[in-house]
Structure 1
């Protein structure tokens, strides 16, 4: 996306292209953008540009002060009037306004949560290949615990039972988190891979890099051809386990289950709906990633069961799938009293 289009996109969601006012912000942005972009891109747009096309006249699109610089030696050199942030070292370089590179949006706002009146100086989003992902939405009041179910992960409900047993063990340990009000968080919900040889991934997954690693690990384990899963039977059995008592919305964010179907469900669309209902009745938020972009009917069934905002169709770009997961997590909050 070129500079003008990037700015228009940010403004369309109430943001602007990111401004940077300290080395701390610069370092934070380099680290978090690196998590999201990996080795796919070398640089991204920030909000600095020269409207008069003069090397001594640089302004930010959000109107904030141009009070910090981190130019590469010899820059700004002239002839190019937008600024790219180089991922390799965090240095800035001039780039053409027409360059098609990712970009970062930011906004300054007050956190109006009744539990906190802390000023949040900057919320940042990354956009590449049409996806937006918050780079600093790691929960401050709670920790998200997620389940991963993958189509073809097992032919019986035994895999779900094994997961329940593991979660029971984990929840009885002292691996508990405290939020900034001292409320003890519940660790019965975990993020992992669902397989006959179940291997748990880090149970506390709260940033882009961890989700990226988990997604790649999960994707590498999907068998071919995939196996059909009876969602109603499997998810209902899981939901009926006493481990999954309804979460306390005043103390924790909803647990999140992510389904990864890769074949058309021979049990029908209603089967998916009934399985999802079993989880949502417990307070779960349910997302789905269609792992086979060629099966449009599967996407339609998932949209019908979950709503299109909770469904992503994966083609081949891990970054976009991770962006979908992360931005959905960013808007799932506990109901604080």
Structure 2
């Protein structure tokens, strides 16, 4: 049964594969920090890091780690599904949320991507973003069984695993 679920997850990734994705999923074997999985997306690379960091620390880590690196900015359903499946393939149900690169800038109503790209796609849980107590300025993706692939706004000081895009 477990093999069937893994196979179906693989098919889901293949079915949702964006143009240009070569579908290469690699286990990292370097002594570098906590890269769990790597995927090639067109000419870019996506890394999933399982060690939780605050939003700011995760973004700074992405910037230091790779050329033009940032937390992942998601511009369509295909990339959203790819990020979801990358995390689920790696950790299954053990990871419930993962940082993505959306944030409110100076408590504005609108969100921006940390890489400066245009905010042209979102997949918020209904009723989100709600900025509870004026502290939820950063975005996370649900990656467990609860609302998988949908986004939530959350306090940036919380720690989460994260996905970098280079």
TM-score range, shorter chain: 0.5 to 0.7
Matched, 1:19 2:78: no
Deviation at residue 53 of structure 1 after TM alignment? 1.2
Residue 321 (structure 1) aligns with = none
Q: Which runs of 5+ in 1 are unaligned?
A: 108-337
Residue 319 (structure 1) aligns with = none
Mapping for residues 1-337 of structure 1, pairs under 5 Å: 1-14=53-66, 15-54=69-108, 56-78=109-131, 79=134, 80-87=136-143, 88=145, 89-107=148-166
Deviation at residue 13 of structure 1 after TM alignment? 1.2
CA distance in 2, matches of 1:46, 1:40: 18
Q: Which has the larger radius of gyration?
A: 1
CA distance in 1, matches of 2:164, 2:112: 16
Q: Which runs of 5+ in 2 are unaligned?
A: 1-52
Q: Does the residue aligned with 2:94 lie in a helix, a strand or coil?
A: coil
Question: C-alpha offsets along residues 178-230 of structure 1, whole Å, 9 cap, x if unaligned?
Answer: xxxxxxxxxxxxxxxxxxxxxxxxxxxxxxxxxxxxxxxxxxxxxxxxxxxxx
CA distance in 2, matches of 1:84, 1:37: 16
Deviation at residue 49 of structure 1 after TM alignment? 0.2
Between Structure 1 and Structure 2, how many residues are aligned? Answer: 106
Question: C-alpha offsets along residues 270-305 of structure 1, whole Å, 9 cap, x if unaligned?
Answer: xxxxxxxxxxxxxxxxxxxxxxxxxxxxxxxxxxxx
Question: C-alpha offsets along residues 102-129 of structure 1, whole Å, 9 cap, x if unaligned?
Answer: 000002xxxxxxxxxxxxxxxxxxxxxx
Where do 4+ consecutive residues of structure 1 move more than 4 Å?
Answer: none
Which structure has the highest strand share of the two?
2
Q: Does the residue aligned with 1:83 lie in a helix, a strand or coil?
A: strand
Higher relative contact order by CA 8 Å / sep ≥ 6: 1 or 2?
2
Further displaced range: 60-69 or 36-45:
36-45
Deviation at residue 39 of structure 1 after TM alignment? 1.9
Deviation at residue 46 of structure 1 after TM alignment? 0.3
Deviation at residue 37 of structure 1 after TM alignment? 2.2
What is the TM-score of this pair, normalised by structure 1? 0.31
Deviation at residue 28 of structure 1 after TM alignment? 1.2
Deviation at residue 38 of structure 1 after TM alignment? 1.8
CA distance in 2, matches of 1:96, 1:63: 21
Residue 39 (structure 2) aligns with = none
CA distance in 1, matches of 2:126, 2:118: 22
**What is the RMSD of the two structures over their aligned residues, measured on CA atoms?**
1.0
CA distance in 2, matches of 1:31, 1:103: 13
What is the TM-score of this pair, normalised by structure 2? 0.62
